[in-house]
Amino acid sequence: MAEATVEFAIETLSSLVQEVKLLGNAREEVESIKSELESIRSCLRDADAKAVAEEEGRNNDSVKTWVKQLKEEAYHIEDVLDEYILKKAQLSHGSGFLGVLCKISRLVKKLKLHHEVATAIQDIKSSLDDIKQRRQNFNFRDEGSSSGTGGVIPHDSRVGPIFIEDSEIVGIESSKHKLIDLLVNGKSNLSMIAMVGEGGLGKTTLAAKIYDNDVVKKHFDSRAWITIGKEYMKKDLLKKIKQEVHCQTGYPSVEIEDTEETNLMTALRTLLKDKCYMVVFDDVWKDDFWEDVNYALLDNKKGSRVMLTTRYMTIAHSVPFVNVHELEHLPSNKAWELFCRKAFGFNMSCPTELEKLSHEILAKCGGLPLAIVAVGGILSNKNKVVFEWQKLLGGLGSKLGSDPHLRSCNRVLSEGYYDLPHHLKSCLLYFALFPQGFEIKFGRLIRLWIAEGFVQYSKNYSLEQVAEDYLTELIDRSLVQVSRRKVSGRGRTCKVHDLMHEILLKKTNELGFYRDLSEENLSHKTRRISVNKGTNDALERIKDSKIRSICFFNVDKLPRSFMSTVFANFKLLKILDFEDCPVEYLPDGVGKLFHLHYLSLRRTNIKEFPKSIGMLINLETLDLKYSFVVELPVEIKNLKKLRCLILYRRDGFITKIHKGLGVLTNLNNLEVVKANFKVLEELKQLRLLRRLGIKLGNRDLKDLFVIVENMENVESLAVESKSEEEILDISSVASPPECLRSLFLKGNIKKLPFWIFELKKLINIELFYAGTTDNDPISALQGLPNLLRLIINMRYCDEKLHLKEGWFPKLEALYLENFGGLKWMMIDKGSMPNLKEFRIGPCPLLKEVPIGIEHLTYLKRLVFMMMLKEIYWMMKGENGEKLTKHIPEVSVSCKEAFGKGFYYNTRYLSSLSCEDFQ
């Protein structure tokens, strides 16, 4: 658990040794501390495993205390170094150093600072010596040693699921039948099936029921079930497979002599040569697992099958020609059925007075069968009264590690965390900062990870790309759930399971990684806090602590005294995330936060910035999206490390930015700036941009595209004209780089540029027409081979729209907005064959459902926007509901006060009478 903390301390020490000249022999002491930490780090995975065993009562040694002391010393190192760097910077940037006396004063202060840090380093070295000495008592195994179990939690979680009775299983029948069909039917070649899902979803249970199915038993000559786990020896695995096959074929079980891997493979292939065989590999953890068994399992063209269960999507995809079956959480009706069986028994139903509480408890389980069974087991032994149910709901998190029913659930969910490398542990723990069930945007999370220093530098990839790989790995490991996806398939928002969130909260408390400000026993040693719903005097209680991060959620009011306390007392802050917080102003003291890397004022009420913002020379992210900031001070040019600058204003205007933008050469995200000739000249220096949003006049358009053409990394480009009247002539400008994936154009666009059809990687286009156009954009764009999302907004359109066969072969989302003149729409069979979402409106003249909409067989969502009255008559028509009955979600949207959106099911509208509707 202390791995990430120690690693961060090592990296900070490395940076200090390279960049700071310490007085006397302090530099040597720093290098000595770094070496000690590297030595200790090598055993931390084993220390974590032993600490977990201690938690579960399997030994009485105080490993957990040792890990905690090491973690606190690593934090102490970070504090000493950060305070030293801060004070040194204050001396360097202080004013009034003119004259001999000032120079002498400055020198004295530096000598005192060097003495302080040298003394602190000596104290740290002494503490580490004690920690190292106590380490000998625990006989830790170094990381990389071939013996032992490393970070494995020593338990067998596979036995129970294998022997669950059929009567206790809910919601697997469809998956069971589908997988049995794949096993016993199909081609004669050897084929592989991978069952993927997070711990507790029932992969082992489902595999066991398939393995013991009578149809499967009858079909295969030989079957073998092998439980893999986190650690195994390849030779032992091959022996185990051979032994299982021997038993299944009626041969007597014999002790296999130790032999070479090649001989074992040859013997196994000979044994399987004439058999239609099935092998199940349960609970696979290693990425290179398939390489270990591949050559032992020959393809004898007899319809043999291999099935494996794993939490990792990467393992599934490492198997060639694999059929991946991704297990899903139980739907609400099946989850309720299983819950009631476990909590009330087969022949009993939930009492009326407990229904609401039962559904709240069930929501915590998040459709995870293991959790539902465990929680239901606890409730089955409790009195069926409201008080007992409320007590469990409030204390479910604390019971995870203590209650016998939940202990197994805790282990299974924790396994994935303990298997992570140190850098991913920190990234996963970060989800605890957000409220339970909170859907976090990918971009926000990635920027926060970078600001925290969790993301390792790479020569070949940007920090954002590395961080996105981290998040992808957590998703592939089934530890993080994707809540919403973009049409490209890339995630938009994510979260963790509610019970995983409880586990992470517990671990962050133990580590001092994070605490909620509302907690009564708030530790001074915590590194990160969140303010959820309200503020109180808790900030006063921790004002002398070394807080690095503050995030705000659901806060209705933020007193000025609170803001003053933050900027006056937390000098080591790296993260200030005010998103959706009612912040009215930033005090001038913000400039004193030398270590600040991330400042978000997204959707706040702030209108102006103090000039001291220019002192934040370590700032990497400045997010002002949907704030009211009119103008950035000229001092913004001092922020040379800035990577992300987002300037959308809530009132639709563009935040003014002064000359000097060109020095921010680390920017990879700039949205949105108002351009003139001077701004365009400075854009030439920003060669690392990946996302660019710009508002400009037509005369500057050609210059912009000449500049963009040389931006090799740009993936997203948004161009908007300064006024609706001015023609945005894009047809003759230079083409952007071929790597462009997203294009946004808004203005009086007369003709689409020729190069738009040559952008083979383009997956998203948004066109907002301010006036009439010389061409039909839909027919012009229909041939783009990889287009997944198309949004077109045009007031002046033809009365008829005909989407023909073969158009938009990969399109998944189509939005036709504000088609004021549209009266009739027809969709041919074979048009948009992969469309999943279709939004249309407002179209006040459209009086009937688009003809041919029944051909869109993959359509999941159909939304008529701002067309309540028109849709009412459509649904009342003879074929209204008949034509759309194959679409799972058909609705109409509207907006009320404050821009809040509402969606109504069209069946609700069609049930009203004309008088009711009016």
| CA-to-CA dists, residue 128 to 50, 320, 608, 667, angstroms | 20, 49, 47, 40
Rounded to an integer, what distance in angstroms lies between the CA atom of residue 208 and that of residue 163?
Answer: 8
Instruction: Tell me the C-alpha distance between 701 and 721, whole Å.
Output: 9
CA distance 483 to 438: 10
Q: Which portions of the chain are predicted below pLDDT 70? A: 1-5, 7-9, 11-27, 45, 48-49, 51-61, 92-115, 141-169, 248-259, 401, 488, 519-524, 534-544, 876-880, 895-904, 906-918
Sequence-distant (≥ 6) Cβ neighbours of residue 165 within 8 angstroms: none
Sign of CA dihedral 501, 504, 510, 514: negative
Cα separation, 448 vs 837, whole angstroms? 31
Both tokens of 722, joined, read 């300064």
Q: Cα–Cα distance between 603 and 582 in angstroms, integer?
A: 8
The whole-number pLDDT of residue 835 equals 94
In this prediction, residue 750 carries a pLDDT of 83
Contact 34, 17 (CB under 8 A): yes
Beta carbons of 810 and 787 less than 8 angstroms apart:
yes
- What amino acid is encoded at 654 in this protein? I
- Could you tell me which of 73, 36, 7, 11 has the C-alpha nearest to residue 421? 7
How many angstroms separate the CA atoms of 532 and 517, rounded?
Answer: 7
pLDDT of residue 486: 78
pLDDT number for residue 98: 42
One-letter amino acid for residue 284 of the chain: V
Residue 903 bridge partners (DSSP): 893
**Coil, helix or strand for 482?**
strand
Containing 261, the helix (H) or strand (E) segment is helix 261-272
Digit-coded pLDDT (tens) for 857-906: 999 888 888 887 777 777 766 666 777 778 888 888 776 544 556 666 76
Q: What is the pLDDT of residue 3?
A: 65
pLDDT of residue 568: 80
> What per-residue confidence (pLDDT) applies to 619?
95
Closest CA to 683 of 613, 443, 693: 693
Q: Which two tokens stand for residue 750?
A: 């007369």
CA 175, chain centre distance (Å): 27
Cβ burial of 767 (10 Å; 0-12, 13-18, 19+) is: buried
Q: Is 35 in contact with 9 (CB distance < 8 Å)?
A: no
The residue assigned the tokens 């179990």 is 149
Q: Which of 131, 2, 1, 172 is nearest to 78 (CA)?
A: 2
Q: At what angle do helices 404-418 and 44-55 cross, to 10 degrees?
A: 170
Q: Side by side, which strands form the sheet with 305-310?
A: 222-229, 277-284, 305-310, 191-196, 322-326
Continuous segment of H or E residues that includes residue 235: helix 234-248
The one-letter amino acid code at 545 reads S
Angstrom CA distances, 184 to 162, 245, 280, 306, 574, stand at 21, 19, 14, 12, 58
Average pLDDT, the chain: 82
What span, in angstroms and rounded, lies between the C-alpha atoms of 523 and 385?
36
The encoded tokens of residue 688 equal 């690392």
The reported pLDDT for the residue numbered 167 is 53
Of residues 550, 430, 553, 555, the one with CA closest to residue 494: 430
Rounded Cα distance between 895 and 187, Å, is 54
Beta strand 481-485 pairing with 491-495: antiparallel
User: 336-340: which pairs have CB atoms within 8 A and are 24 or more residues apart?
Assistant: 336/362, 337/170, 337/171, 338/170, 338/171, 338/369, 338/372, 338/373, 338/376, 339/365, 339/372, 339/375, 339/376, 340/376
The span from the CA of 46 to the CA of 52, in Å, is 10
- Say if CB 714 and CB 690 are below 8 A apart: yes
Neighbour-count burial of 405, counting CB atoms closer than 10 A to its CB (0-12 exposed, 13-18 middle, 19+ buried)? middle
- Hey, how many other C-beta atoms are within 10 angstroms of the C-beta on 381? 9
Q: Which tokens go with 283?
A: 């609970």
Question: Token match 């048009």: residue?
Answer: 831
Measured distance CA(44)–CA(4) in Å, rounded: 10
The pTM score is 0.86
Q: Which two tokens stand for residue 436?
A: 């339970």
Helix boundaries (H) for 745-843: 777-781
Q: Which two tokens stand for residue 780?
A: 């012009």
Residue pair 525/72 in contact by the 8 Å Cβ criterion: yes
Name the packing angle between helices 369-380 and 386-394 (round to 10°).
140
Distance CA 794, CA 880 (A): 26
The Cα angle at residue 676 between residues 675 and 680, in degrees rounded to 5: 75
**Helix 355-365 with 386-394: angle, nearest 10 deg:** 20
Task: Give the three-state DSSP class for 22.
Answer: coil
Cα 659 from Cα 635, distance rounded (Å)? 10
- How far is residue 599's CA from residue 641's CA, in Å, rounded to a whole number? 13
Which two tokens mark 228?
A: 């893999």
720 φ, ψ (degrees, to nearest 5): -130, 140
Structure confidence at residue 882 (pLDDT)? 73
Phi and psi at residue 39, to the nearest 5°: -65, -45
Q: What's the pLDDT score for residue 278?
A: 93
